[in-house]
């Protein structure tokens, strides 16, 4: 039932009478309408607060809809929509749903879909899963009907399947299930997926609670038309379809006749097609419906070469066009709106999934952290001692390394000094060789980092690193001191002496 539990503990005082009427609404709308009249005639009505007045008008709108009457309280309903948007999300969803029904009755299809999708957004945002199954079945069914009317089969299938799922989730109504199965089959029929359509029609017949209800006859008619369309048994199919049309109530016959007329047109029996299409054209009163049928009649007369009749219906279509371009633009708008909703819905599902995952991870993490904390207290002292030992060892090894590097450099300085003193200006190759023996890797790194150094610049760099004075470098390189000074000055612009020196000393 659509009596919402949270209303009873709501910050507003909900009238018990209105709650009882809400209970009654979904089973006996006529009785609910009588109770609404009694409620409004009650002498205490003047003391009714704003919440209950809006609640009353929402129930009136729902009762009128379920009773098949126009919304005579539409302006009051619109006020209820605005009111509930700021007070109660569940009543807001129902009010927007009824507002969508009103727009659809006025053939404001885009506005109706906007309201229906707004209902789904409200449900997605506020109502916990699973929401009220019957209401969710109704809203998805209404959106499916809207798409079906616009020949948008794919989104209609999505909506009818959602409606079927909610119907099955709640207290399954066999008749409603039969209707929904038939609606899904009809969409596949339109898509010319005949095997799938036949499956759903058979399921609709199987789930129908009896063989005398209108839905059962309708499913039989669609099965007969499917036999004609698919070419399985045209003659028997068309005879069965005609018989079933005569058994249908008068308001439902016209579009059955259109179906039969189009079947005859498709198989080339144009005279028979015209009989049924003319019958519908003469009976319907809405211009859009007449234009729809007139287009098929015009096509038949054109194919027959009947210029007089063709001109007559061409003139009619010019005066009362079917606005196909506007219709296509509307279909595009509706499809875009629905795809946007599906995107929002998927994003919300992903967000909820992420939140659940975060909660689970957070709980798991909290447990793990608690365990870690308990054990950490026992291990902290030991770990601190181990860390201190490691730090001391690291510092010792670092000091040993620095000392070793320093000793190695000092030894190198002694060797190259000895070479210089011994061989004077002929000792350069030996000095460079001694440097390479110890620091070949460092020299390779320097060459990679500074590839544009000349051989003389490399030699001066090595000699400078080995603490040779300018005069000594000039003697070794057979250059003037000024020239060596210029080399040194240029080298300081090219290389980072401090960095290179720290690497080898």
* Residue pair 473/460 in contact by the 8 Å Cβ criterion: yes
For residue 471, CA distances in Å to 296, 459, 461, 483 come to 110, 14, 14, 11
Domains 5-245 and 249-322 alike in fold: yes
What topology is assigned to 249-322 in CATH? Answer: 1.25.40
DSSP conformational letter for 26: T
How many beta carbons lie within 10 A of that of residue 272, not counting itself?
A: 16
Mean pLDDT per block of 10 residues along the chain (505 residues) reads: 41 78 78 82 74 90 85 90 90 94 91 95 79 87 93 94 88 84 92 91 89 82 83 79 80 81 85 88 80 86 87 78 62 91 89 84 81 77 80 80 77 81 75 81 81 85 85 87 88 81 73
- The reported pLDDT for the residue numbered 3 is 38
Domain 5-245, CATH among 1.10.760.10, 3.30.70.1060, 1.25.40.10, 3.50.50.60: 1.25.40.10
Residue 223's contacts (CB-CB under 8 Å, 6 or more residues apart) are: 198, 201, 202, 205
Residue 65, both tokens: 């809809």
Cα–Cα dist 62/299, whole Å: 43
Q: What is the pLDDT of residues 311-338, one digit of tens each?
A: 888 877 777 655 444 477 888 899 999 9
- The reported pLDDT for the residue numbered 325 is 43
Give the CA-trace dihedral at 354, 356, 360, 362, to 10 degrees.
60
The pTM (predicted TM-score) of the whole model is: 0.65
- Which sequence spans correspond to the domains of the chain? 5-245, 249-322, 345-504
- The reported pLDDT for the residue numbered 2 is 39
The Cα angle at residue 191 between residues 189 and 197, in degrees rounded to 5: 30
For residue 195, CA distances in Å to 198, 199, 215, 354 come to 5, 6, 20, 40
* Residue pair 274/300 in contact by the 8 Å Cβ criterion: yes
- The reported pLDDT for the residue numbered 341 is 92
For residue 468, CA distances in Å to 252, 406, 432, 459 come to 112, 17, 12, 11
- The reported pLDDT for the residue numbered 6 is 43
* Residue pair 292/254 in contact by the 8 Å Cβ criterion: no
- The reported pLDDT for the residue numbered 360 is 84
* Residue pair 435/462 in contact by the 8 Å Cβ criterion: yes
**Cα 286 to the center of its chain, rounded Å:** 38
Cα–Cα dist 269/261, whole Å: 9
- The reported pLDDT for the residue numbered 336 is 92
């Amino acid at each position: 039932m659509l009596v919402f539990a949270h209303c009873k503990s709501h910050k507003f005082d909900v009238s018990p009478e209105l709650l009882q009427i809400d209970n009654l609404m979904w089973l006996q709308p006529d009785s609910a309408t009588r109770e609404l009249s009694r409620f409004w005639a009650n002498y205490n009505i003047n003391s009714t607060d704003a919440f209950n007045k809006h609640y009353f008008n929402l129930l009136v709108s729902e009762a009128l809809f379920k009773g098949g009457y126009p919304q005579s309280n539409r302006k009051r309903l619109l006020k209820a929509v605005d009111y509930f948007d700021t007070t109660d999300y569940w009543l807001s969803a129902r009010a927007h749903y009824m507002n969508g029904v009103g727009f659809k009755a006025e053939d404001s299809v885009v506005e109706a879909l906007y309201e229906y999708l707004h209902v789904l957004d409200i449900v997605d945002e506020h109502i916990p899963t699973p929401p009220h199954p019957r209401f969710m079945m109704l809203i998805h069914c209404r959106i499916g009907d809207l798409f079906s009317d616009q020949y948008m089969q794919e989104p209609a299938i999505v909506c009818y399947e959602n409606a079927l799922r909610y119907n099955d989730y709640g207290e399954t109504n066999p008749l409603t299930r039969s209707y929904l199965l038939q609606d899904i089959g009809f969409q596949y029929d339109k898509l010319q997926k005949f095997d799938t359509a036949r499956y759903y029609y058979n399921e609709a017949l199987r789930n129908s609670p009896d063989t005398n209800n209108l839905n059962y006859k309708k499913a039989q008619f669609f099965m007969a038309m499917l036999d004609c369309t698919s070419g399985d048994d045209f003659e028997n199919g068309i005879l069965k379809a005609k018989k079933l049309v005569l058994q249908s109530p008068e308001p439902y016959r016209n579009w059955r006749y259109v179906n039969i007329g189009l079947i005859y047109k498709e198989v080339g029996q144009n005279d028979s097609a015209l009989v049924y299409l003319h019958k519908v054209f003469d009976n319907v009163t809405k211009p859009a419906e007449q234009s729809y049928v007139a287009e098929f009649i015009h096509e038949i007369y054109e194919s027959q070469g009947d210029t007089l009749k063709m001109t007559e219906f061409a003139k009619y279509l010019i005066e009362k066009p079917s606005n196909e371009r506007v219709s296509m633009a509307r279909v595009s708008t509706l499809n875009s709106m629905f795809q946007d909703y599906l995107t929002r819905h998927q994003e919300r599902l992903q967000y909820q999934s992420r939140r659940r995952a975060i909660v689970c991870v957070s709980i798991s993490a909290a447990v793990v952290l608690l365990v870690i904390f308990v054990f950490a207290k026992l291990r902290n002292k030991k770990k601190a001692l181990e860390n201190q030992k490691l730090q001391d060892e690291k510092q010792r090894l670092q000091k040993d390394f620095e000392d070793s590097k320093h000793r190695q450099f000092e030894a190198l300085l002694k060797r190259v000094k000895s070479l210089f003193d011994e061989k004077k200006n002929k000792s350069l190759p030996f000095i460079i060789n001694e440097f390479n023996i110890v620091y070949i890797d460092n020299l390779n790194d320097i060459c990679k980092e500074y590839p544009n150094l000349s051989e003389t610049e490399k030699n001066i760099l090595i000699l400078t690193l080995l603490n040779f004075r300018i005069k000594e470098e000039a003697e070794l390189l057979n250059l003037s001191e000024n020239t060596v000074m210029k080399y040194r000055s240029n080298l300081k612009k090219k290389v980072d002496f401090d960095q290179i020196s720290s690497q080898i000393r």
